[in-house]
Structure 1
Amino acid sequence: MESEVFDDSLERPIVFFDGVCNLCNASVLFFLDRNQKENLMFASLQSSIAEKILGKKTEWNDSPYSVLFLEKGILYQKSTAIIKICAHLTFPWNLFSLFRWIPNSIRDFVYDWVAGNRYRWFGKLDACRTPHPNLKSRFLED
């Protein structure tokens, strides 16, 4: 699923994640470890930089989306965002991009189920984590 076109002048793809979600934070660390090209950037959906880039169109708090992915001016959400992110990872994780052949309705059903239960299963932080100093350059900040 794609959203409207955003500013495509951003040079690197951006992963927007729920900064208080333990599953989302673990996923970001997973992506960082497997993105050898170091081309992925990250921003918490709760940050002012996310609001600046995405605008007020994306109300993360009222949304089931825990991950959004902006690449070449197109915002991807739900399972499509995960598939697009995985295409930037090392082997064998980049093979998850093959899931794009599964119908979107099936992929998003599973995604919504996990996203809807993520706080219950994995917990929630009181505030967004601060990135480790070694990784700070990969995070867009306010």
Structure 2
Amino acid sequence: MPTWPDDDVILFDGICIFCSRWVRFVAARDTAKRFRFTPIQSDYGAKLARTFGINPDDPDTNAVVHGGEALMKSDAALTVLSQLPGWGWVRILFAVPKPLRDPFYSFIARNRYRIFGKYESCFVPDRDLRARVIE
């Protein structure tokens, strides 16, 4: 598996309303400001996506680079949540086998625009969050 020089970077679909809400959810709870964010529509995000085999034009997952490795789908979401204050309890969900977790994740990912909608252009964060976005 390829490596990435930056750690604790969350790759997300910047036009997906659900994905953008996920970023705001994480940012609001990440009191240590550990995580940084990159929309897949940015040059940096597209390069990160391609490095890990994600199609930037049709992303089917978010990803997080954590501990030097890229995690995808339910592993990415659970890893991020488990690092947030008060959310360590989600680690227990890693006991659910990945072949059971990922289909649920994939269903939401495939239908995210239909269920939650999408922005016409990439999500623009407020000034505080903007400092944590890599483009």
Return the TM-score normalized by structure 1.
Answer: 0.86
**Aligned match of 2:101:** 107
Determine helix, strand or coil for the equivalent of 2:83. coil
Determine helix, strand or coil for the equivalent of 2:131. helix
Please give the root-mean-square deviation of Cα atoms over the aligned residues, in Å.
Answer: 1.5
Tell me if the contact between 2:12 and 2:37 (Cα under 8 Å) persists in the aligned partners.
yes
Query: 1:64 is matched by which residue type in structure 2?
Result: D
Question: Structure 1's 47 and 136: CA in aligned 2 closer, same or farther, altered over 3 A?
Answer: same
Determine helix, strand or coil for the equivalent of 1:87. helix
Determine helix, strand or coil for the equivalent of 2:85. coil
Q: Does 1:17 align with 2:12?
A: yes
Q: Does 1:5 align with 2:2?
A: yes
Shift of 1:54: 4.1
Return the TM-score normalized by structure 2.
Answer: 0.90
Query: 1:132 is matched by which residue type in structure 2?
Result: D
Equivalent-residue separation in structure 1 for 2:63 and 2:98 (angstroms): 16
Q: Which moved more, 1:70-79 or 1:47-56?
A: 47-56
Query: 2:77 is matched by which residue type in structure 1?
Result: I
Q: 1:52 aligns with which of 47, 69, 73?
A: 47
Shift of 1:81: 0.4
Q: Does 1:39 align with 2:59?
A: no
Q: How many percent identity over aligned positions?
A: 27
Instruction: Give structure 1 regions of 4+ aligned residues with deviation exceeding 6 angstroms.
Output: none
Q: Does 1:73 align with 2:33?
A: no
**Aligned match of 1:30:** 25
Equivalent-residue separation in structure 1 for 2:37 and 2:70 (angstroms): 14
Tell me if the contact between 2:50 and 2:56 (Cα under 8 Å) persists in the aligned partners.
no
Question: Structure 1's 68 and 90: CA in aligned 2 closer, same or farther, altered over 3 A?
Answer: same
Structure 2, unpaired ranges of 5+: none
Shift of 1:70: 0.8
Shift of 1:73: 2.4
Structure 1, unpaired ranges of 5+: none
Equivalent-residue separation in structure 1 for 2:22 and 2:105 (angstroms): 14
